[in-house]
Amino acid sequence: MIVLAGPSGSGKSHLAERLALPLLRLDDFYRDGSDPALPRITSGANPSRRLVPRLLRTSTGLVDWDDPASWLCSEAVEALATLCRTGTVETPVYSISANGRTGTQTLSLSGSPLVMAEGIFAHHVVAPLRAAGLLAAAYCLRQHPAVTFWRRLTRDLREHRKPPLVLVRRGLALAHDQRRLVAEAVSLGCTPVSADEAFRLVRALPVS
């Protein structure tokens, strides 16, 4: 298993397409929008982490989709382990516009010795996979905050994920917090690299 972490907009999905390996999208393991366990923004952008400048603050009461508690880590790890051990797994299909799961899909290794898992919370699966002996490598993509902000904003506006003002404010807050996010991924076992570096490193991985 190759784990690909990094801030939203850092280029994880594009890199996965370049590598053309079987891919499990960890963002499909978000909680449904109706789940009462979803974390909420109570003040600022990420109050549980640190305060941010007033300009960057979003409306309180919104779901904090950038909090790992909005995501089902244990379910994702179980799916990854099943895929590695059996070669196939049923995974959820999550729709942002529908605010929840809309079905399932079958992912197969199709004989590939490597499989990728990518998502904004991908670094949280590194330790469980390593403990299970299933980890080949783990990378965190580095990118300038201005680049990730613009990529994220254009994507989210195109997909109508949230009202434009919310997207701008949220994007600024995430850009402000990006260095901490990368540091957290590194502390959990990811190697910080550019997209091109990750591409070369994955291509050089020994396979059996």
Write the CB contacts of 80 (distance below 8 Å, at least 6 apart in sequence).
Answer: 1, 24, 89, 117, 125, 129, 134
| 54 in a structural domain | yes
Alpha-carbon distance of 171 to 118, in angstroms, equals 20
Question: Smallest Cα–Cα separation from 170: which of 141, 149, 147?
Answer: 149
Residue 96: inside a domain, yes or no?
yes
Residue 162 lies in a domain: yes
pLDDT at residue number 52: 43
Q: At what angle do helices 145-158 and 178-187 cross, to 10 degrees?
A: 100
Distance (Å, whole) CA 187 – CA 180: 10
CATH number of the domain bearing residue 28: 3.40.50.300
Distance (Å, whole) CA 28 – CA 40: 20
**The pLDDT of residue 174 is above 80:** no
Domain residue limits at 184? 2-203
Q: What distance in Å separates the CA atoms of residue 159 and residue 146, rounded to the nearest whole number? A: 20
Inside any domain, residue 104? yes
Strand (E) or helix (H) holding 86: helix 73-86
pLDDT band at 171 (very low <50, low <70, confident <90, very high): low
**pTM score, whole prediction:** 0.76
- 3 state SS of 183: helix
Number of domains in the chain: 1
Q: What mean pLDDT comes out for the span 181-201?
A: 92
More confident residue, 179 or 34: 34
How large is the average pLDDT for residues 98-102? 89
- 138 domain-assigned: yes
Q: What percent of the chain has pLDDT over 70?
A: 75
Q: What is the pLDDT of residue 125?
A: 97
Q: What percent of the chain has pLDDT over 90?
A: 53
Residue 208 within any structural domain of the chain? no
What mean pLDDT value characterizes the chain? 83
Residue 190 has pLDDT above 90, yes or no: yes
Collapse the DSSP code of 102 into the 3-class scheme (helix H, G, I; strand E, B; otherwise coil) and give the result: strand
Rounded-to-integer distance, Cα 167 and Cα 66, Å: 13
Q: In the structure encoding, which two tokens stand for residue 167, read together?
A: 């997207």
Is the pLDDT reported for residue 112 higher than 70? yes
Inside any domain, residue 58: yes
State how far the alpha carbon of 109 is from the alpha carbons of 24, 73, 114, in Å: 10, 21, 8
pLDDT, tens only, 37-83: 999 877 654 433 443 444 444 455 678 888 899 999 999 999 999 99
Residue 166 lies in a domain: yes
Distance CA(134)–CA(115), nearest Å, equals: 10
